[in-house]
Structure 1
Amino acid sequence: MSLLDELGRHRVVPVVVLDDADRADDLGAALVAGGLPVAEVTLRSLRAGAVLAALAARGDVLVGAGTVLTPDHVDLARDAGAGFIVSPGLSADVVRRCREVGLPVIPGVSTATEVMAARELGLDTVKFFPAEASGGAPAVKALASVFPGLGFMPTGGITEATAPAYLSLPAVTAVGGSWMVAPDLLAAGDWDEVTARCAATRRLETPLLAGGPPP
Structure 2
Amino acid sequence: MTPQDASRRTRELCGLAPVIPVLVVEDAGKARPLAEALVAGGLPVLEVTLRTPAALEAIRAMAEVPGGHVGAGTLISAEDVRAAKAAGATFGVSPGATDALLAACEEEGLPLLAGAATASEAMRLLARGYDMLKFFPAEASGGSAALKALGGPLPQVSFCPTGGVSPGNAGDYLKLSTVPCVGGSWIAPADLVTAEDWGAIEAKAREAAGLSG
TM-score range, shorter chain: over 0.9
Q: Which residue does 1:24 correspond to in 2?
A: 31
Relative to its length, the structure with more helix (as a share) is 1
How many Å separate the matches in 1 of 2:96 and 2:125?
10
Gaps of 5+ in 2: 1-7
How many Å separate the matches in 1 of 2:94 and 2:114?
5
Task: Determine which of 27, 36, 45 is the counterpart of 1:38.
Answer: 45
Identity %: 44
**CA contact 1:34–1:199 (8 Å) conserved in 2:** yes
Query: How many pairs align?
Result: 206
Task: Determine which of 99, 104, 116 is the counterpart of 2:106.
Answer: 99
Please give the TM-score of this superposition, normalised by the length of structure 1: 0.92
Please give the TM-score of this superposition, normalised by the length of structure 2: 0.93
**Residue 166 of structure 2 is aligned to residue 159 of structure 1:** yes
1:144 Cα deviation from its structure 2 partner? 1.2
Task: Report 1:72-91 matches (<5 A).
Answer: 72-91=79-98
How many Å separate the matches in 2 of 1:125 and 1:13?
14
**CA contact 1:39–1:62 (8 Å) conserved in 2:** yes
State the 4+ residue runs in structure 1 displaced beyond 3 angstroms: none
**CA contact 2:14–2:160 (8 Å) conserved in 1:** no
1:6 Cα deviation from its structure 2 partner? 2.8
1:103 Cα deviation from its structure 2 partner? 1.1
Q: Which residue does 2:209 correspond to in 1?
A: 202
How many Å separate the matches in 1 of 2:11 and 2:119?
22
How many Å separate the matches in 2 of 1:109 and 1:190?
35
Residue aligned with 2:63, SS: helix
RMSD: 1.3
